[in-house]
Amino acid sequence: MVLEILPSRTAGAAENMAIDFLLLQRYPRAGTPRFRHYGWRGPAFTFGYAQKIAAVRELLPAEPPFELCRRPTGGGIVDHRQDWTFALVIPRGHPLEEMRATQSYRAVHEALAEALQSQGVPARLKPPAEMPEGLPSEASAKEGICFQRAEIYDVVHETTGEKIAGAAQKRNKHGLLFQGSIWRPAASLPAMGPGTAGLAVDWDRFQDDFTARLALQLGATAEPVPWPELNEDEVSGLTEQYSAPEWVEYR
């Protein structure tokens, strides 16, 4: 089995969300998972499909301009101004796709944490035992700003407790879409506490390490592939839909 590594691309918020969704809907290769890292054309925030727009706007910064888009996945508000963003698509019937949401979340974040650890970042997963009673698990719809509070199996900094990485998922008849975000400033925090030199993560090396470990989790081999031939009219149409007030203000 191959884990297909797509070329990195930079786009606006609505186009990024549209492409992630279309990779799940219209990119079928039986049994073949696929991964992409992507950038943002300008300052952007995304928020979970189930969140109410009025509550989201109350938590956003006062200083625009920035793009705002509702994701096809769940989760809370994600600030993409200093993050490293990725999407993983797992086809229907793959063992990871058939896991419970918390367990697929854990598997992906174990690979992510190990890739950061290989560069000296003291990253670990937040276990259930550290969650205060009454707070929702990662499998439930989160609200608020993603990097302000770590949930079960998020990646956190061992020394400071700062949240480094979180994600959201969507399952449908085609498989699983996993949208993840790494907060770069948290990953570059001092390894030994205040007063020590900060760590500069090599993000190209990180992607190679992350996808290699992810491939092991999936029982696959990571392999770069060309950009898929998506229907450009469909990409444009869904991008327009995701940028429309009817989608952003759906709830």
The answer to whether the beta carbons of residues 66 and 37 sit under 8 Å apart is: no
Predicted confidence at residue 251, as pLDDT, reads 78
Predicted TM-score (pTM) of this structure: 0.88
Radius of gyration of the chain (CA): 17
Predicted confidence at residue 131, as pLDDT, reads 54
Closest alpha carbon to 27 in 147, 134, 177: 177
Predicted confidence at residue 151, as pLDDT, reads 85
Q: Kindly give the confidence (pLDDT) of every residue in the chain, 251 residues in length, as a single tens digit, with 9 standing for 90 and above.
A: 899 999 999 999 999 999 999 999 987 666 799 999 999 999 999 999 999 999 999 888 887 789 999 999 998 999 999 999 999 999 988 888 888 889 999 999 999 999 999 999 999 999 887 555 444 443 344 455 555 677 889 999 988 889 999 999 999 999 999 999 999 999 886 645 555 555 689 999 999 999 999 999 999 999 999 999 889 999 999 999 999 999 998 87
The domain segmentation of the chain, as residue ranges, is 2-248
Residue partners of 11: CB distance under 8 A and separation at least 6: 19, 38, 39, 40, 41
CATH of domain 2-248: 3.30.930.10
Joined tokens for residue 172: 């449908």
C-alpha distance from residue 110 to each of 33, 183, 204 (Å): 17, 16, 19
